[in-house]
Amino acid sequence: MGESMNWDDLRIFLAVARAQRFATAGRLLGVDPTTVSRRLARLSDRVGAPLFESIGSERHLSEAGRALLTHAEAIEAAVLAATEQPGEAAAAAGHVRLSVAEGLATSVLAPAMPEFAERHPAIRLDLITASGFLSPSKREADIAVMLARPRGAQLRASELRRYRLRLYGAATYLDRHGAPQSVAALREHRLVSYVPEHIYAPELDYITEVHPDLAPRLRSTSINVQRMMVAAGAGLGILPDFMAATLPDLHPVLAEQVEVWRTFWLVTHPDTHHARRIQAVCDWLSDVTSVG
């Protein structure tokens, strides 16, 4: 590592770390895969260890790569800060990976995407809704909207929105089976909920919070699938109000007795928190989630 590192090499390294493929990284940067491979080989020689491991067609960071990533992203943040122009006229630009719950992405963020694209045409935004949240501390995401405030001191977290969940049923189900008159009576109804062994966050275990003896018969790992099962009249299910509001045939059940509250937390990494592209997405998230 006697030679100083070239920023262009680090930029290619960051692109591959995020895209996990040479071809994808090269396409995003406007260079061919051969150039990507050659630059990474040069950087690896300077570090003195391989930066990536090949797993199938993907490139995953090695131990040396993970160590370099922290420094490379700090340099990236400094370069972005140095090249940003002061004032509101400067456009936010770059790639932002946002890890977010499926329900929020579907019902709130996706409908607001046209406005975001118009406001920030130079930002490439990835909405990642895989089961479990990607971590800014591990540099898996730039921003995460999480269901619990992270305990790690390395992250910045702020409350984004508190929201309510209630028990909902479709008119077709309620007409056929009647509405339960008590929480205990829910044991006689078909309930829709998560698959217990695939609940990736304890905050999603709504059903046992309502009553410990409830056993849902229809289950899915997807909140969108649950919502559609409830809307089709398959059973009763606990849904966020902001998701149920998009389907007018859904009606609250036991509204005075079944009410669950949760909070979305906006989480970023201190090294990139002040980057213009990160702040632009954070501001947009605050705007769209404050409605309703």
11 domain-assigned: yes
pLDDT at 264: 95
CA dihedral over 22, 27, 28, 31, signed as positive or negative = positive
Q: Is 214 exposed, middle or buried (0-12, 13-18, 19+ CB in 10 A)?
A: middle
CA distance 113 to 176: 38
Which amino acid belongs to residue 202?
P
pLDDT at 173: 97
pTM: 0.72
CA dihedral over 197, 203, 204, 206, signed as positive or negative = positive
Q: How far is CA 10 from the centre of its chain?
A: 26
- Residue located via tokens 């770390």: 17
The answer on 255 and 187 residing in a single domain is yes
Q: How far is CA 151 from the centre of its chain?
A: 18
The answer on 157 and 103 residing in a single domain is yes
Q: Are 157 and 267 in contact (CB under 8 A)?
A: yes
- State the pairing for strand pair 191-193/143-146: unpaired
Number of domains observed in the structure of the chain: 3
User: What average pLDDT values come out for the chain (292 residues) when binned by 10 residues?
Assistant: 71 87 85 91 92 89 89 76 55 84 94 94 88 58 88 82 96 96 94 90 88 92 95 97 93 95 91 85 94 61
Nearest partner of 3 among 41, 40, 35, 42, judged by Cα: 42
The answer on 250 and 180 residing in a single domain is yes
Look up the domain containing 271 and give its range. Answer: 94-161+264-289
pLDDT at 2: 43
pLDDT at 3: 55
Element (H, E) at 184: none
Last residue of a domain, one of 83, 109, 143: 83
The answer on 107 and 79 residing in a single domain is no
CATH of the domain at 203: 3.40.190.10
Which amino acid belongs to residue 30?
G
Last residue of a domain, one of 18, 48, 83: 83
CA distance 125 to 131: 19
Which amino acid belongs to residue 253?
V
